[in-house]
Amino acid sequence: MYITNRGKNYSNNQKGRPYHRRGSSAVRVKRGFRAFNPSDMVRAFDKSASNEVVAVTHSFEDFGLGKELLQNIASKKYVTPTPIQDRVIPLVLAGRDVIGIANTGTGKTAAFLIPLIKKIFNNRAERVLIISPTRELANQISSEIISLSRGMGIRVVSCIGGTSIRQQKNDLRGAYNFVVGTPGRINDMAKSNHLDLSVMQTVVLDEADHMVDIGFIHDIRLIISLLSPVRQSLFFSATIDGEVKNIIGTFVKDPATVSVKTKEVLSYIKQEIVKVNSGKNKIDQLHEILIREEFKKVLIFGRTKYGVQKLSDELVRRGFRADAIHGNKRQSQRTRTLDRFRRNDIKILLATDVASRGLDISNVSHVINYDLPESRDAYIHRIGRTGRANKTGVALTFVD
């Protein structure tokens, strides 16, 4: 049984600045952090969990996608469109600008990739730019393009940091249909005249709220300023407020808005609070949890790069099959570690929040918030790595 902490976990100092507790010392929360009580959050989500079902009215065959694309969709075992795919695919095929609002794990990547692959298959001159907040998500989108367009002669170029810029420049000199990248590297390519953004007929901003959160707002504005005014624009975000609204105003024209965000956290994620026992080391409590048979494939989140690596090293020393991804590792190392986790070569993946957005890792049985997330949205996106594809999952949050 997990121990649920029903008490308060945060207090304010004399100047009114929120702190959270780690062990015996108070740690100042980063500016912009809104203190929340994880215990209250779990209870609130439990009460607000909705059984509302968004009706699906199409099959993939209804969209006129063609034999090749339908075969690739079937090979990925996509049987029926998800609600956002059901509504977005026909809009994209019709050439509409789209604002898509959806929770994580709803299939939105395929919602825009499937119709865009169909458009390119019909017109080989079509060029599509997809902008993603993280390298991992950009790599995942590129891999999804390759699998969905197998045998269709469609070429994708990846433009992300942490990998060879020389190779990416060479790739952009050849023929391509998709460019998938992160804002900083895309701007670098545009500034050096290796990527002409004005020739992109379709542009996708994916996880736009996260791009704003992690400081890409100026890069995004610059990219938008270099695009052709005649284009199809697709905008996907889990939340739309503040700066995100301002971006929408300059990015899309007469958009169709699709929202299938019926509940904050899917009802098949069980959420629990683990109270840190003052008489026992936190790592020992984690150890006792991880040795349980049901913890088959576990994603553990920490706050800092140093803390995540230190915890990973300690778990390996204790005999666990574990590894970590964070910003201090080369992109090739991060990609290799993610592949090992997907193949079950390692049982435990430790990560900073770089892994909390958009990554589709199958069959994650448990998410553990070893360190508290910095916000309510970060919590939602972290725990959304489990309980995907209608499978049950468990999310645990350690609270001092």
Q: What are the residue ranges of helices labelled H in 49-197?
A: 67-75, 83-93, 108-122, 135-148, 165-173, 183-191
| Last residue of one domain, picked from the residues 259, 290, 321 | 259
The confidence score (pLDDT) of residue 328 equals 85
- Whether residue 357 has pLDDT greater than 70: no
Say whether both 183 and 87 belong to one domain. yes
Say whether both 312 and 163 belong to one domain. no
Question: Is residue 1 one of the residues assigned to a domain?
Answer: no
Say whether both 46 and 65 belong to one domain. no
Say whether both 332 and 242 belong to one domain. no
Say whether both 146 and 99 belong to one domain. yes
What does the pLDDT look like over 6-46, one tens digit per residue?
Answer: 333 333 333 333 333 333 333 333 333 344 565 565 555 44
Say whether both 300 and 356 belong to one domain. yes
The DSSP symbol for 156 reads E
Question: Is residue 2 one of the residues assigned to a domain?
Answer: no
Question: Is residue 154 one of the residues assigned to a domain?
Answer: yes
Question: Is residue 172 one of the residues assigned to a domain?
Answer: yes
Say whether both 268 and 236 belong to one domain. no
Tokens of 136: 């991992």
Tokens of 102: 């959806």
* Domain carrying residue 388: 10-50+264-399
What does the pLDDT look like over 74-92, one tens digit per residue?
Answer: 999 999 999 999 999 999 9
CA distance 118 to 72: 12
Say whether both 181 and 274 belong to one domain. no
CA distance 35 to 38: 9
| Last residue of one domain, picked from the residues 259, 285, 311 | 259
Say whether both 85 and 194 belong to one domain. yes
Say whether both 45 and 67 belong to one domain. no
Question: Is residue 5 one of the residues assigned to a domain?
Answer: no
Say whether both 286 and 137 belong to one domain. no
| Last residue of one domain, picked from the residues 229, 259, 289 | 259
* Strands lying side by side in the sheet with 10-12: 10-12, 18-22, 25-28
Question: Is residue 303 one of the residues assigned to a domain?
Answer: yes
Tokens of 67: 């034999």
Question: Is residue 55 one of the residues assigned to a domain?
Answer: no
Say whether both 246 and 334 belong to one domain. no
What does the pLDDT look like over 200-258, one tens digit per residue?
Answer: 999 999 988 888 877 899 999 999 999 999 999 999 988 887 888 889 999 999 999 99
What is the CATH classification number for the domain harbouring 360? Answer: 3.40.50.300
Q: In terms of Cα–Cα distance, which of 44, 53, 98 is closest to 80?
A: 53
pTM of the predicted model as reported, rounded to 2 decimal places? 0.73
What does the pLDDT look like over 269-302, one tens digit per residue?
Answer: 899 999 988 778 999 999 999 999 999 999 999 9
**What's the domain count of the chain?**
2
